[in-house]
Structure 1
Amino acid sequence: MWGFKISGNVLNSVYESVGDGVCINEVIYNDNDHPVDYRIIDANPAYESITGFKREEIAGQRASIVYNKENPPHLNIYARVAETGEKANFETYTPQLRKHFNVSVISPEKGKFITILTDITSHSEIDDELETVYENVPVVLMMVDSDRRILKLNKNAELFAGKSSEELVGSRGGEALGCLHSLDDPEGCGFGPHCKDCIVRNTVLDTFETGNNHYNIEASLPFIVDGREKNLTFLLSASLINTENKSKVLVSIQDITERKETEKELKESEERFRTLTEKAADAIIAHDFDGNIIYANETASKNLGYPRDEILSLNVTDIDPYVDIDVFRDKYWNKTSSDTSYFIGTYHKRKDGTIFPVEVRLTRINLNEKPVILAYIRDITIRKQAEERIKEQKEQVIETERIRQLELHHRIKNNLQVISSLLSLQSEKFTDDNVKDAFIDTQNRVISMSLVHNKLYQAKGLENVNTKDYIGDIVDHLNELYNIPNIDINIDVEDIYLGIDTIIPLGMLINEILSNSLKYAFSESETGKIEIKLYQNNNNKNYTLIVADNGKGMPENVDVKDADTLGLQLIKNLIDQIGGDFEVNKEKGTKFIIEFSG
């Protein structure tokens, strides 16, 4: 087989004139007898024409230098032919020349090989546009011969294998792509113990034998990826191509490992979701952003009174009459996320039309790879009923306390009236006018307190007393008691409500000052005016009380803040009791100006 030599005039004539490019080469080995390069011995004129290389420039040169590549093109194929004497044939594309070639390889003697290049660019099976698609399609594409050796492969196959096409052409698919089982036997891909069951090998062989094409067969095999074993899942297709009476198979491998892992994780996630939600005590439904219900758990079916399949035909507006899809989408649904929830109190409607209160927590999840709104729905009927009972009990307690306070005010008022009557009866036993006046003053103080409790009783339990009405009652009582018709009393009091701790000392204070004015500010026939004002200051929460008369006034030598009379001492103490301060203006009568906090 290796005895062939180019000799003789006829052979030399054919060699020089043949239209195919012929190049004679010898393999270069390293110290370990491993092929590392090859040297070009000679080339015919057609080779010069086809490749553009001049024979005198390349003869004797290493291929790595001629082609300017560290790894010479197709070295493994050429070395195998040179070693075994077996012929080889493959197609290749040279980007620099923009040409497709059919390459036949023979060996004239061991260690040498001859390549015969046929330019098939004009009738290539794949034109430029198809070549672009072929090279860039995101799947592994390999053209293999009947021995399953690679004739041609695309860029994605190179990326998958991590090697150039020159290194891969001539090897079998499993060896090129790193199938773990291709290492099981020294002969490589197709000879190991697992290879007889290899779906890729058997599919390709079946396509050659039967002519049947196969599409998208799902398979899994172990590969060496980045130096580590990894099981990959892929879709396998094999199509028979006949050109120039030669059968080839186009093998397509689409890696779907990540997709399958994602599908598995998604399936497991959905199974966990259903496991967690199916037996949940709360109702759980999922709906899309148009409100269409796509999932409901068993509790939702039970609470709403719908069979599961019927719920899935409903919209959330069918179970919640208060939902406005557009409003809820903008206000809640579009703003939710896996980390953001919204709580809503609303009412749901059962199939039979009954309404019941619910508390809803809205969040967003991915279900079947689509974002949906997940609603956790808690029936709070029992809680609402308990709240109503508590509310009723509180109202009963408040009402009982109100009645008790009314009764208390009524009793205090009656007791104070009894004390007032006793004081009145006791005063009649005395002839001394000073003693009688003292009894009357004390009686008036008791009556001012009695009026407060009477107001609280009449108000049916209000904790505060209207000062306008109360002061009017005090003035009416004193007017009736002293009966001085020529004194005009003007009341200018705002509608202010004060508590019992303030209103009682305030009433006694007004009673004390007004009594003094009625008794001492005017002579019997003299006409006069008394003015009472009470208002809240604009700049703070304090109040101002003014009691003024235009009578003869207090003696200049009387210091109200350091007086020793009972009445004036009482006035000072009452002002202190309501947290107030005061001043007395003695011009044109007597004017008490009192500011207090209330």
Structure 2
Amino acid sequence: MKTRIVFTVFLIVLCVFSLSAKEKLHLKIGTYENSPKIFTDDNGEISGFWADITKEIAKRENWEIEWVHGTWDQCLQRLENKEIDIMVDVGLTPARQKRFAFSNEILLLSWTRLYTQEGTELQSILDLNGKKIAGLKGSFNIEGPEGLKDIVDKFNINCKIIEMDDYIKVFEALDKKIIYAGITNKDFGDKHEQDYRVERTSIIFQPARMQFAFTRDSELTPHLIDKIDQQIIKLKKDTNSIYYNSMEKYLGEQEKITVFPLWIKITIAIILTFVIIFWIFIIFLKNQVKHRTQELEQDITKLKQAEEEITKLSKIVETTCQLVVLTTIDGSVVYVNQAYLDISGFIESEVIGSSMFDFTAEEGMKILKEETIPQLLSSGHWQGEMIVRIKDGTKFPADLICSLIKNKNDEPEYFVAVFNDITERKLVVEQIKTSEEKYRVITENAKHIIITHDLDGKITYANNFALEYMNITKEEVIGQSIAEFIHSREDMDAMKQRQHDFITGKNNVHHYELNVKNLSGEYRILEVYGNPIIDSNNNITAVLIIAYDITERKKTENALRESEARFKALHNASFGGITIHDKGLILDCNKGLAEITGYTVDELVGMDGLLLIAEESREIVMENILAGYEEPYEAIGIRKNGEKYPLRLEARQIPYKGKEVRVVEFRDITESKKIEEEIKQRMRELEIFNDAAVDRELVINDLRKEVNEMLEKMGKKKKYDIVT
């Protein structure tokens, strides 16, 4: 009986497995053109790294797959609409997690590389200011964390980002110099950069984990994720699998601002306004001439000359960098120059006949209606700032000069407006205000004496610390002679002579020690630094005094000097180059790093830190960055002059300005490597001597001493006890 039951169960299980084997799961998988990761080959077949892995998994799981081709953006939309089941080569972002489900296993690590037009010298990410940059529409490179949009926002870079359907179009646009720069993933760039006139830059960013993406709410999705994760794990464990073979096959290996005086800008704007007014007036005359051609045949020569002048003036308006707009009194646009079309992004047919109010930002609408137009109608002119909106919704501040044009009956007919983009000027002004406020706060809260006095020695300013130090109010000290606070007549005479020499240019060094007394009668020693305050005519008008109380320092100067020497020796012996970076982008560093690499500190800040690592070590360094690795390890560094050298790196995650970054110590171990090799050589010699000649103890002792001395130089313990 039991045997019959077991046999029945066996038949049922066998039937179930037989049915499962016959029923293939049909899956629709999205594909797009991103060679060599995934692409359509010359035979029309879907090929590339992702295609190989996907086909292998489908074969192992007995799935039937159907490739659905489209652009990147189309594929993501189809996945969200449940028109396909799986999408390959998708970078994980918070926004995408809300739209799709993702595999747990990472199939590929990638990052974004920046390319420019051939022959372009791009020094840093800041050189992209004011430029056009293209990338793949809807891609991780543009939209993802630390992507292009994130980086330009972080560094306040004002550039235009153009989204294209595939990376081929990005390289074609660079080749034709339609754009200044373009971004692709590293694998596409490595494969195709030789096919186009493009320049690879040293700027790489946004390390990314590439995974399979799935329809979020599908009942089938958990099953697909589980199966694909299992197969990826198996493929990675087998070093001879298609995962490694396919990877080897497809994936081996600030513009200077010229600030013109305001009066020049106004003069140029007025001249251009009158030129434009004159040109419009000529157009009006030209229309009249057409109706009176027969009556003016005798003036044909003069008319041709006038037309030539009109052409010249028209070229001036068309080629000027200023934005020129002509409207009727009711605001209907009748003319815009080429500069307006280039900057706004509109085409002429979209603007002509439209209302000027359609292109005015909400912030400027009230000014336009309540101030600009009424003043134009009353006085004929208006000048001020206006917020302008362009086609993509971007807004920028502009210096606007408007004039009213009247017809022959002295009736208002047109408004002509000339715009100047003042974004950079506003930024400079804001920076100046910020700088002034910063230094005012620093001065008022500085913990040392800051005083200014005129050429007669009368105090004109004293900071809070100076007032507290002298135990006096600001009202009591302003206007007093600085001599009132000097300890002795001898110090007074010496200070006066120094300042006289300083002011007359006989001595540019204004640094000395001075004995003073405060109102409590206490004598103190000050270290004084003086700097001239110079007016616009390069004349010295006053003197800035910065003084530090060094009384206590003087008392303990000898002890401090000895302590300082010990500290300096310890510092020089213990620390190499230190840098703080965010995903490889250097935020700050010390002089030690500059000395090791050959770059200046200013060159290093803002630089891609991977450029300090030799090509053969960059992959392991990038992996350690992504993994948050915090143990010491060795790599090969590269200096500014191209010299390679052995390097020990040790990093820690630290909070920095509201986010987690990495601090890394660079230590040049060239000498250590040499000493280590010498030690090994000496130890080999020692072993030879030890094995071959027991009776040569004195020679062995000498060798042991040398080994011990070398180990001490490296900061390690002695290896041998010396018998004397």
Normalized against structure 2, the TM-score is what?
Answer: 0.27
* Greater C-alpha radius of gyration: 1
Greater helix percent: which structure? 2
Higher normalized contact order (CA 8 Å, seq sep 6+, divided by chain length): 2
